[in-house]
Amino acid sequence: MNVLPLVLYAAAGIAYALHFARRQPQVGRLATTLLILAALSHTFVIGMQTMEVRHVPFANPSRAVSTFVWLLALSYLYLEITTDERAMGVFIVPMLVGLQAIPAVWPGAERMDPLLDSPWFWVHVSSLLFAYASFGLAGVLGLTYMVQFKEIKKKHLGYFYTRLPSLQTLDVMNARAVAVGWLFLTLGVVVGAIWTAQARAAVPDDPNLQAMSLNDPKILVAVVTWGVYSFAMVARRALGWTGRRAAWLSALGFAIVLLNFLPINYFVTTSHTF
């Protein structure tokens, strides 16, 4: 079921690339239309999977990646529609294609542990996935800021300068994406702690619950991620770290997110393996 969204994301990526190169309004509208169709088909797939397993489908790594891609696509579409700026699509959509290829090729099996049948758990995971989607958007905005900044610094106002938003616009978008992501990451961490405490009280001898501590790579990296973005929030307001510094922090933070979301999720056994 994940193949159709992948094909539509790929088609949208090609259209965004053509629009970025040629700046033709009709091609831009086609790109947006294809991305909306991809997001709608992805919504249908997630809805069908939800009906199949009777909960939001992210209890295995591949379906969590698929849900992350869906949320990132919706976040970007919101940004594009509210700003009427399509230039970022050429950077965002290829990431959607690359990540969506994982559940399309390796769908995995949904494993449902009775411990996970809790509203606290679903709020915990949903909040983290939405936070990661916001950080993904912020990370791409940060890298784009650096591309635009280097062109201006070299006084070579050419290919990218005429196609990308201004530095001020990119910085404002980045700040908003980081703020939204930090809010949902904080919510996810707090709710996760509440859920763990309740689950431990209900099932005190469960080995996964007992192993949940900072010694767990997934939890440790999540805490480091929260620390990086918390510093980014404080540094922007208290130290005046805007522009390049904020852009680099966004890129660093998202690199840590991907470390936790892909290699650790797939290849490291943690207390989150149910």
What are the structural domain ranges in the chain?
A: 1-112, 113-274
Q: What is the pLDDT of residue 160?
A: 79
CA dihedral for 137, 163, 144, 12, sign (positive or negative): positive
End-to-end CA distance of the chain: 24
Please choose, from the candidates 195, 247, 255, the residue with its C-alpha nearest in 3D space to the C-alpha of residue 225: 255
Cα Rg, the chain, nearest whole Å: 19
Tell me how far apart the alpha carbons of residues 256 and 243 are, in angstroms, rounded to a whole number.
Answer: 20
Express each pLDDT in 21-44 by its tens digit. Answer: 888 989 999 999 999 999 999 999
Please choose, from the candidates 133, 146, 128, 130, the residue with its C-alpha nearest in 3D space to the C-alpha of residue 246: 146
- Which residues does 23 contact at the CB level (< 8 Å), separation at least 6? 163
Q: What is the pLDDT of residue 10?
A: 96
Q: What is the pLDDT of residue 112?
A: 62
CB 61 within 8 A of CB 110: no
- Which residues does 247 contact at the CB level (< 8 Å), separation at least 6? 141, 142, 143, 145, 146, 149, 170, 171, 174
Q: What is the pLDDT of residue 216?
A: 81
Express each pLDDT in 3-24 by its tens digit. Answer: 899 999 999 999 999 999 888 9
What is the distance of C-alpha 121 from the center of its chain?
19
**Statement: residue 271 has pLDDT above 70:** no
Cα atoms in the 13 Å half-sphere on the side-chain side of 20:
19
Tell me how far apart the alpha carbons of residues 274 and 265 are, in angstroms, rounded to a whole number.
Answer: 12
Please choose, from the candidates 116, 120, 135, 131, the residue with its C-alpha nearest in 3D space to the C-alpha of residue 271: 116
Average pLDDT, whole number, for the chain? Answer: 86
- For residue 43, give the H/E element and its range: helix 25-53
pLDDT mean over 247-254? 93
**Statement: residue 274 has pLDDT above 60:** no
Please give the torsion angle defined by the CA atoms of residues 89, 91, 95 and 98, in that order, rounded to the nearest 10 degrees: 100
